[in-house]
Amino acid sequence: MKTRMLKNIPSIIGPDLLKTLMEMGHGDEIAIVDGNYPAAARARRLIRMDGHGVCEVLKAVLSLFPLDRMQENALLMEVAKNDPVETPIWQEFDAICRAGDAAYTRYSLIERNEFYKRTESCYAIIATGEKALYANIILRKGIVR
């Protein structure tokens, strides 16, 4: 699918998100978060995509967004201690990132409160309607070669 009047841009990528991705420079980070994440309270720039899931947004973003080759480029919020929740969506994230950019090797986990702090310094947060728990990812932008 294509966005109105432009070629090769996924239709899910609206004008605000496209502008944000273009404004970001090398080393800037963007978070794509689930519906439970307190995005509005933490975002410097908030992009709402409530009708979409994280995997759908992640795939579209990676079709345009180069990942950093020099540092960790995909961070996930680790499951809180004593929380028995399963996170099968992480395997989907891994497959999407692997297919989306050769710079991706593996995601890293960071502790919940550290993840919250990290998103506060992200260039933007994309808030989705994702229902899966712990379905939050931070991407670090690389360069176009």
Please give the domain boundaries of the chain with CATH numbers for all domains. Answer: 17-140 (3.40.1650.10)
Query: Are the C-beta atoms of residues 35 and 130 closer than 8 Å to each other?
Result: yes
Residues in the chain: 145
Which has the closest alpha carbon to 97: 129, 65, 120, 49?
65
With a pLDDT cut of 90, the percent of the chain lying above it is: 93
Over residues 33-43, the mean pLDDT reads 98
- Token pair of 120, please? 């506060």
Which has the closest alpha carbon to 104: 64, 66, 61, 50?
66
Our answer to whether residue 68 is catalytic in this structure is yes
**CA dist., res. 21 & res. 36, Å (int):** 23
Please tell me which residue in 16, 52, 94, 116 is annotated as part of the active site: 116
For the stretch 87-108, pLDDT in tens is: 999 999 999 999 999 999 999 9
What pLDDT was estimated at residue 145?
A: 83
Our answer to whether residue 26 is catalytic in this structure is yes
Our answer to whether residue 123 is catalytic in this structure is no
Which pLDDT band, with edges at 50, 70 and 90, does 36 fall under?
very high
Please tell me which residue in 34, 37, 68, 107 is annotated as part of the active site: 68
Q: Is the pLDDT of residue 29 over 80?
A: yes
Over residues 31-47, the mean pLDDT reads 98
The residues near 57 (Cβ < 8 Å, ≥ 6 apart) are: 12, 32, 49, 126, 128
In the chain, where do the E strands start and end? 29-33, 46-49, 74-77, 108-110, 124-128, 137-140
Over residues 54-82, the mean pLDDT reads 96
Which pLDDT band, with edges at 50, 70 and 90, does 4 fall under?
low
- Token pair of 132, please? 């899966």
- Token pair of 124, please? 């933007």
What pLDDT was estimated at residue 3?
A: 46
Q: Is the pLDDT of residue 62 over 80?
A: yes
Q: Is the pLDDT of residue 1 over 70?
A: no
